[in-house]
Structure 1
Amino acid sequence: MSDGIVWLVDRDGWMSSVVFARGITPEELAVRMGGDPDGATEPITDAEVGRLGITGWRPAADGDGVIRAGSGGEWSFAVEYGDSTGGDLLAEISRDGAEVVRYVPPQEHPPADVHYARDGVWVCGYGLREEIWRWGEEPDLFLPDLVAAGVLSPDGRTYLPPEDEDYKVGLRRSLGVVERRFGLSLSPAVLGDARLPAYAVRGTPRMTLDVS
């Protein structure tokens, strides 16, 4: 039984998003996101990313973005931390026939959202529990799935769940649409004790666990 990705809505951590890519290796995913192919750290845990000296902001310079990359099944993935810019690069990441799905967990605002790119095109995206607003080259691509899951009416303009439904129940239902469509799965260990190589993709983080 796979772990799926719906469990991510219950995750309280400090990752900024997860990018899934089909058709490229984890190493190539890291490169397309801005990483140095020869600059990976030793495999580290989610908690150890905090020892890489990530700075969110510095005067007149980029903040730091770091990813940890791995694979599961037919999908590579990258967990983003700090000011990683995966969301700005989805079309580029998906070039040459690759497919890319990005899940961004809920912040204070905007809400959690999902995005899909394919072969160099940002195809579609929507906010979880804000599914009536959809965007991209094919904004209604997931509409049949959202209707079948009981999220939206067939015209895509009306929410079907009751207004008093628990917020996270709605998040799980909506994220489940993407999980099932693409067969996405991520082990909870990735955000626990699993060790994966990390890459700097923005700014100048200190890519070593040594603290002098």
Structure 2
Amino acid sequence: MADITRQGAGDGARDCDGGIQWLADWSAWYVGLTFARGIGPEELAARLGALPDLRPGPLGAIDAWSMVTETVDGDGVARVGSWGGWSFAVEHGVPAGAQRLAEVSRAGAEAVYLDPQPDHPPKQFAYARDGELVCCFGIGEEHWRGGHRPDFLLPELVEAKILTPDGCYARPEDEPYEERDRLTLAVLEHRFALSLPRRLVEETPLPAFVTCTH
């Protein structure tokens, strides 16, 4: 697969719309985002359940959403690429990343999943490595953590003053949710060197696959 995204800036590349903190201000965040390190974009699509006989070609976000309406219930459309040392999938419709993250990370890979949960907040984060769900929590509910190592990011969350050392929530109750979300996204951005320009998610035609979550 030809890489249609930028490679020249190296791992952890940033530009004016890089990083992932912009997600805190994006009112149209309705797509799941799966990042994988150690595998390429096509392999990421395969591990997300891509149907081998459905390759609709490069699609932008609008065309991907249109295709979602043509798939069967339980299917989604994943647009894939690479950026800053990670493969990524922009998942429209039913996201496979939530159910398949451990599978995505098997055989020594790493995977990060961000789910906007627009109909059932809060937004969700999960991290898996080598076939194991390491850590997960709701953004804004970091004091309720799951996974095999729920305290994996506790030092970073304490340093950012999101949690206290004993794992309790440390933010003001009346803090605007955009500011709260940005703090946690900044922790994830820094810890995993995540970057995904907004234009890739919203505009750029990317190789697309139909994924099955059944």
The TM-score, its normalising length taken from structure 1, stands at 0.87
Gaps of 5+ in 2: 1-13
Q: 2: distance between equivalents of 1:95 and 1:63?
A: 23
Mapping 1:3-152, distance limit 5 Å: 3-13=18-28, 15-37=30-52, 39-54=54-69, 62-152=73-163
Mapping 1:157-168, distance limit 5 Å: 157=168, 159-168=169-178
* Deviation, structure 1 residue 155: 0.7
Contact 1:90 1:122 in 2 (8 A): yes
Q: Percent identity?
A: 47
Q: 1:108 to 1:94 in 2, by over 3 A?
A: same
Q: 1:145 to 1:53 in 2, by over 3 A?
A: closer
Q: 2: distance between equivalents of 1:94 and 1:172?
A: 26
Match of 1:188 among 193, 198, 202: 198
Q: 1: distance between equivalents of 2:104 and 2:28?
A: 25
Q: Which amino acid aligns with 1:46?
A: A
Q: 2: distance between equivalents of 1:86 and 1:50?
A: 17
Q: 2: distance between equivalents of 1:35 and 1:49?
A: 14
Q: 2: distance between equivalents of 1:172 and 1:138?
A: 23
Contact 1:27 1:37 in 2 (8 A): no
Q: Which amino acid aligns with 1:83?
A: V
Q: 2: distance between equivalents of 1:68 and 1:13?
A: 17
Q: 1:33 to 1:107 in 2, by over 3 A?
A: same
* Deviation, structure 1 residue 15: 3.5
SS in 2 for 1:140: coil
Q: 2: distance between equivalents of 1:184 and 1:53?
A: 27
Contact 2:102 2:128 in 1 (8 A): yes
Q: 2: distance between equivalents of 1:65 and 1:136?
A: 25
Aligned-residue RMSD, C-alpha? 1.8
Q: 2: distance between equivalents of 1:171 and 1:70?
A: 25
* Deviation, structure 1 residue 50: 2.4
Contact 2:134 2:150 in 1 (8 A): yes
What do the CA deviations read for 1:137-183 (whole angstroms, capped 9, x no partner)?
000000000000110101112x2222221111001101211111000
What do the CA deviations read for 1:96-127 (whole angstroms, capped 9, x no partner)?
00000000114242310100000000111111
Query: How many residues are paired up?
Result: 198
Contact 1:15 1:79 in 2 (8 A): no
**Is 1:153 aligned to residue 168 of structure 2?**
no
Pick the structure with greater CA Rg.
Answer: 1
Gaps of 5+ in 1: 204-212
SS in 2 for 1:89: helix
Q: Which amino acid aligns with 1:161?
A: R
Q: Which amino acid aligns with 1:67?
A: A
